[in-house]
Amino acid sequence: MKRRTGPSVSLFHGGSAGRGDSPLYRETYRRIRAIILDGTVCAGDRLPSARAMAQDLRVSRNTIEAAFGQLRSEGYVERRVGSGTFVSGNVPKVPQVSRRRPAKVPGIAATIVAHSREKGLRALSRRGRESSAPPPDVAADTDASFGVCRPGLDLFPTQLWNRIAARRMRRSMGDLLDEQSPNGLASLRTAIASYLRLARGVRCSPEQIVVVTSTQQAIDLVARLLVDAGDKVWLEEPCYTGARYAFAAAGARIVPVPVDVAGMDVDRGAARDPRARLAYVTPSHQFPLGVTMTLERRLALIRWANSANSWILEDDYDSELRYDGRPLAALQGIDDSERVLYVGTFNKIMFPSLRLAYLVVPPDLVEPVTSARRWMDGYTTALNQAVMADFVHDGHFGTHVRAMREAYRERRDALQEAVATYVPQHVRLGARDGGMHVVGWLPKRANAPALAERCARRGLYLRDVAGYYAGRPPGPGLVLNFASAPPNRIARGVRVLGQELGVK
């Protein structure tokens, strides 16, 4: 059988094994064995070379060789010198009560993935299938250039953080070993409240703050507490996919509300469903388009929430990073009716594994949100909370934000210059006044998914903007993150993009 080739796919949705601490080669072995046992590949079929399969599955060649070795020792495959690896003619067939062969796909790697997904998803509920779909926000490689929402880890003051952590461990580690309050350490909530009042214009007390692990957890908490199955929820169009998954998992009926240069179009939202239960917005820096919601639209949104007796969830995920003009005050700060719940995160401006974010809620929601947090996962790691509190109280956070703002401005400018130099007729950059990314709009006939896949094979991980739309996007485009790479790597990345676009 001729070797079949297929698209570059990730067997494990990001490179980690799917069964706890199982070695990656064991997981690969199980997946290949599964398609042999159910007859997807038959006795005598030739498997791709270890090199080709490693490239297709995005694992190392040693991983494939180890998997092949295990399969050979158990009699599933035969290794023939100079010819390759073949399915053994003596493979025992496992009886299947009801077996559906995966749809025909162009490559053995894609066959493995299709088979694995079918097996893994058949026992899930409808909501489970919806909420477990892999989002487009996660880069396939943790070291990926241009990976969406990845900060510049090369810029983080690691030594300073380590000194503060060591000091905190010496002074109060015993207290941090015990169970903690589900709403977070008082010292961190006090630091967050002070910062939000000064930097973001948020009106809150420490008692209104609930510390969580991520923006995603905050959204999920709000969806669980405020949305019943069948309730309508306004989501920006396009929108952060994590919000769409969270509200869909809660049984909400999603109402996409278009975003233009002024932000979410409140009038069109009201025309589509005037009595929606909640509206989710990113007003300071819309994700992924990067536009800022105007004051007129903000006031209109608050008026709508009052008239409809609805809630607003404001996601302020990277508002500190504004390069042209001063950061805009939060929507929550102009809400006199306490309709706005505010979400912020340290994971973007600091580092992803910190796992610290916060939810600011109206006073009457503090108790139910805290109780719900207790039943979800209890509380956030105390040591990271304590170190972050010291980092803020001692003034280091403000210094770090200013340093990141300057560094990211330089990297944004490098992206603009590289696009103007290498792909001026092929990439049009969208709004770029702040944040960590910008949308690069492509020529109308460009195939964005195929382009992103080709770039990924060369270590450049871009995201198709269509993945953030519930409907059809206005045109093909890619999300370009400039924060995670220094200027010279940004220039190289844009050259790669130009080569894949066919620019000469």
Does position 35 have pLDDT exceeding 90, yes or no? no
The edge-to-edge listing of strands for the beta sheet with 463-464 is: 428-429, 437-441, 477-481, 463-464
Reported as a single tens digit per residue, the pLDDT across 293-334 is 999 999 999 999 999 999 999 999 988 899 987 767 899 999
Q: What is the C-alpha to C-alpha distance for residues 393 and 189, in angstroms, rounded to an integer?
A: 11
Does position 255 have pLDDT exceeding 70, yes or no? yes
Residue 309 exposure: Cα atoms within 13 Å on the Cβ side: 0
Residue 70 — pLDDT band, cuts 50, 70, 90? Answer: confident
Does position 143 have pLDDT exceeding 60, yes or no? no
Residue 131 — pLDDT band, cuts 50, 70, 90? Answer: low
Which of residues 487 and 90 earns the better pLDDT score? 487
The edge-to-edge listing of strands for the beta sheet with 278-281 is: 209-212, 357-360, 340-345, 311-315, 278-281, 232-237, 253-260, 263-264
> Quick check: pTM over 0.85?
no
Highest mean pLDDT among 8-17, 63-72, 81-90, 364-373: 364-373
109 closest CA partner among 5, 2, 3? 5
Reported as a single tens digit per residue, the pLDDT across 334-344 is 999 999 999 99
State residue 98's pLDDT score. Answer: 42
Does position 9 have pLDDT exceeding 70, yes or no? no
Highest mean pLDDT among 27-31, 142-146, 201-205, 454-458: 201-205
Reported as a single tens digit per residue, the pLDDT across 451-484 is 988 888 888 888 999 999 999 999 999 999 999 8
pLDDT cut 70: percent of the chain above it: 84
The edge-to-edge listing of strands for the beta sheet with 46-47 is: 46-47, 84-87, 77-80
- Mean pLDDT calculated for residue range 85-109: 59
State residue 481's pLDDT score. Answer: 92
Does position 7 have pLDDT exceeding 60, yes or no? no
H/E element, 209 = strand 209-212
Q: Is 224 helix (H, G, I), strand (E, B) or coil?
A: helix
Q: Is 436 helix (H, G, I), strand (E, B) or coil?
A: coil
Q: Lowest-pLDDT range, 70-79, 131-140, 191-200, 402-411? A: 131-140
Q: Which domains does the chain have, with CATH numbers?
A: 24-123 (1.10.10.10), 158-394 (3.40.640.10), 401-500 (3.90.1150.10)
H/E element, 469 = none
Does position 96 have pLDDT exceeding 60, yes or no? no
State residue 105's pLDDT score. Answer: 40
State residue 108's pLDDT score. Answer: 65
State residue 290's pLDDT score. Answer: 94
357: which 2 tokens? 């974010």
State residue 5's pLDDT score. Answer: 35
Q: What is the DSSP letter of 288?
A: T
The interaxial angle of helices 108-121 and 24-37, nearest 10 deg, is 90
pLDDT cut 90: percent of the chain above it: 58
pLDDT, averaged across the chain: 85
State residue 32's pLDDT score. Answer: 87
487: which 2 tokens? 């200027």
Contacts of 280 (CB under 8 A, 6+ apart): 219, 233, 234, 235, 236, 239, 243, 247, 313, 315
Does position 349 have pLDDT exceeding 60, yes or no? yes
Does position 60 have pLDDT exceeding 90, yes or no? no
Does position 19 have pLDDT exceeding 90, yes or no? no
Q: Is 485 helix (H, G, I), strand (E, B) or coil?
A: coil
- Mean pLDDT calculated for residue range 157-184: 86
329: which 2 tokens? 């005050």
Residue 16 — pLDDT band, cuts 50, 70, 90? Answer: very low
State residue 157's pLDDT score. Answer: 95
Residue 134 — pLDDT band, cuts 50, 70, 90? Answer: low
Reported as a single tens digit per residue, the pLDDT across 363-391 is 999 999 999 988 888 888 899 999 999 99
State residue 117's pLDDT score. Answer: 54
Which of residues 468 and 142 earns the better pLDDT score? 468
Evaluate whether 255 touches 273 at the Cβ level (below 8 Å).
yes
β-pairing, 477-481 with 463-464? antiparallel
Q: What is the C-alpha to C-alpha distance for residues 419 and 495, in angstroms, rounded to an integer?
A: 9
Q: Lowest-pLDDT range, 138-152, 208-222, 269-283, 323-337? A: 138-152
- Mean pLDDT calculated for residue range 136-158: 68
Which of residues 331 and 144 earns the better pLDDT score? 331
State residue 397's pLDDT score. Answer: 96
295 closest CA partner among 256, 263, 339? 263
Does position 121 have pLDDT exceeding 70, yes or no? no
Which of residues 5 and 49 earns the better pLDDT score? 49
Q: Which long-range contacts (CB under 8 A, 24 or more apart) does 420-425 make?
A: 421/491, 421/494, 422/491, 422/494, 422/495, 422/497, 422/498, 422/503, 423/494, 423/497, 423/498, 423/501, 423/503, 425/503
